[in-house]
């Protein structure tokens, strides 16, 4: 790590067990307000459908809630699953957000549908679309946001807003597309780290400058569970571990409370799965977290980390981000001093 790194927040607006959607969205707003006060760069929310434990399916609507309660932090999608939508509709939605919160809106775009076939059918998606449609849709969306006069229709709102686009991915496809279009690239290393190193190498090597971006810009998802002791942090992280196991076994639900000794109680196969998906994670005291983050930044040379971490208790969640901001400042101070 030889440069100051920006830290941001990625929020799934998870619904805790015993709670409801309104509570989840208000928890998200409180976290965004805290992130703004702590100097986090941006607050992104993710699109998921048909999941009782995630409240951000209508992502642009949820972001309006966040934008109305904050003043300076950037807000955006991490991301919109573009195959689920007509590009014109997304241009209108994010053009509206840009009109409401000028200069603060980002639009991260993913290729995965983020759902199963039942949800895809309910979204009226064509299940037989080919892979080339995503790049075409990105270009069409970009043209709407630019107000390209060659289009037969203008996005209103949206035309001329030039909301910045980000390509999200966990495979080499996204890296190649982001490089070809000269867009920032956000890698989902917080839950799918397998192709991280190769994807970043391809993105940086093949990057072509664009009107939006003159040189490669890498964001990496990273989980942080910070607490006063390693044991407490490990316990906090078990809520996310339980969610991963539930998702992988086809039984997703609301965010469960932490369980002491949960990881050790699992069969070896489940422990191995968790070890793999949580490679991009730091769990422990600020010192432990700092060491893990430092190693990850040395490995990736990321320009920005976007921090996730599903924590059941809101006070513990906010404390974890407070400690994370302290780690960020110590790391960046060590670069500039």
Q: What is the pLDDT of residues 155-194, one digit of tens each?
A: 999 999 999 999 999 999 999 999 999 999 999 999 999 9
pLDDT given for residue 94 in this prediction = 98
Distance CA 101, CA 75 (A): 9
Q: Looking at the domain assignment, is residue 114 inside a domain?
A: yes
Distance CA 39, CA 37 (A): 6
Buried-state track 60-90, b at ≥16 Cβ within 10 A, e below 16: bebbbbbbeebeebbbbbbbbbbbbbebbeb
Q: How far is CA 186 from CA 249, 260, 303, in A?
A: 27, 33, 10
Domain with 43, as residue range(s), is: 6-230+280-336
Q: Looking at the domain assignment, is residue 252 inside a domain?
A: no
Tokens of 280: 């991009």
Q: Looking at the domain assignment, is residue 174 inside a domain?
A: yes
Question: What's the structural domain count of the chain?
Answer: 1
Q: Looking at the domain assignment, is residue 320 inside a domain?
A: yes
Q: Looking at the domain assignment, is residue 199 inside a domain?
A: yes
Q: Looking at the domain assignment, is residue 260 inside a domain?
A: no
Tokens of 292: 């893990």
Mean pLDDT across the stretch 308-335? 96
Write the CATH number for 324. Answer: 3.20.20.30
What is the per-residue pLDDT across 88-132, written as a single tens digit (0 to 9) for each? 999 999 999 999 999 999 999 998 765 667 777 777 666 555 556
Distance CA 229, CA 324 (A): 14
The winner for highest mean pLDDT among 18-27, 80-89, 105-114 is 18-27
pLDDT given for residue 119 in this prediction = 73
Q: Looking at the domain assignment, is residue 318 inside a domain?
A: yes
Tokens of 248: 């992988």
Q: Looking at the domain assignment, is residue 261 inside a domain?
A: no
């Amino acid at each position: 790590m030889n440069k100051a790194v920006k830290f941001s927040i990625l929020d799934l607006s998870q619904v805790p067990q015993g709670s409801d959607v309104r509570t989840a969205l208000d928890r998200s707003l409180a976290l965004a307000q805290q992130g703004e006060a702590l100097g986090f760069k941006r607050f992104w929310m993710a699109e998921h459908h048909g999941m009782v434990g995630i409240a951000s399916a209508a992502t642009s609507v949820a972001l309006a809630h966040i934008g109305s309660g904050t003043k300076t932090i950037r807000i955006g999608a991490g991301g919109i699953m573009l195959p689920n939508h007509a590009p014109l509709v997304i241009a209108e939605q994010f053009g509206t957000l840009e009109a409401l919160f000028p200069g603060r809106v980002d639009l991260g775009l993913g290729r995965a549908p983020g759902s199963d076939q039942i949800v895809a059918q309910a979204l009226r998606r064509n299940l037989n679309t080919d892979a080339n449609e995503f790049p075409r849709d990105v270009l069409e969306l970009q043209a709407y946001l630019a107000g390209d006069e060659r289009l037969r229709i203008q996005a209103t709102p949206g035309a001329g807003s030039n909301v910045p686009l980000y390509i999200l991915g966990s495979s080499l496809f996204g890296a190649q597309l982001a490089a070809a279009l000269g867009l920032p690239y956000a890698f989902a290393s917080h839950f799918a780290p397998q192709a991280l190193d190769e994807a970043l190498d391809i993105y940086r090597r093949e990057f072509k400058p664009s009107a939006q971006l003159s040189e490669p810009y890498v964001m990496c998802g990273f989980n942080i569970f910070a607490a006063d002791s390693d044991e407490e942090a490990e316990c906090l992280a078990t809520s996310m571990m339980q969610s991963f196991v539930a998702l992988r076994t086809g039984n997703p639900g609301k965010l469960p409370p932490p369980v002491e000794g949960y990881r050790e109680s699992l069969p070896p196969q489940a422990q191995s799965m968790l070890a793999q998906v949580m490679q991009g994670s730091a769990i422990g005291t600020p010192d432990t977290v700092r060491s893990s983050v430092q190693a990850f930044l040395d490995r990736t040379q990321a320009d920005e980390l976007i921090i996730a971490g599903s924590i059941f208790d809101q006070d513990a969640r906010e404390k974890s981000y407070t400690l994370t901001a302290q780690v960020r400042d110590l790391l960046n101070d060590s670069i500039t001093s």
